[in-house]
Amino acid sequence: MIDRADFLDRFGGVFEHSPFIAERALDANAIAEPLTAGGVHAALSDAFRKASHAEQLGVLVAHPDLAGKLAIAGGLTEDSRKEQAGAGLDRLSAGEHARFTELNTGYVEKFGFPFIIAVKGLTKDDILAAFEVRIGNAVETEFETAKTQVERIALLRLNALLPGD
């Protein structure tokens, strides 16, 4: 039997600052033992996709800007800090940081949420190239792309916590 408090403690932050996703997956009886990364990911992603547009937007908005103010001030979650550092975003030159800041600002103004990309395995140049392409997307397209990236980030986090299938 899955202990609710333990499950929420372990997996409530997999979708950035959005424990309601894990709660809804549990409440829907979508979590089965043994817990595997793929099984938990499928249940959490289903709960995320069934959330209202406003709730999904809230999950997107909960993500930090890449190489943004929170990163500089040390205010990222541990997962976000490790993910950004792994891509070299904690070691940007002044010029690179200025470009990320400019893109972050323009992106949020256009879409209403931060640029989200699963950075594992990417370099800062890969991320910058994706940023520059995606900022040209239509709002609906980018909303779907960001949701897909959030789910990819969640799977990467779950793979670090649980065995695969």
Report d(CA 141, CA 144) in Å as an integer. 5
63 is catalytic: yes
One-letter amino acid for residue 158 of the chain: L
From 17, 53, 63, 97, active-site residue: 63
Assign 109 to helix, strand or coil.
Answer: helix
Q: Which two tokens stand for residue 150?
A: 């959030």
CA dihedral sign of residues 37, 38, 42, 45: positive
Rg (CA), the chain: 16
Residue of 89, 155, 153 lying closest to 123 (CA atoms): 89
In contact, 24 and 47? CB cutoff 8 Å: yes
Question: Which positions are annotated as active-site residues?
Answer: 63
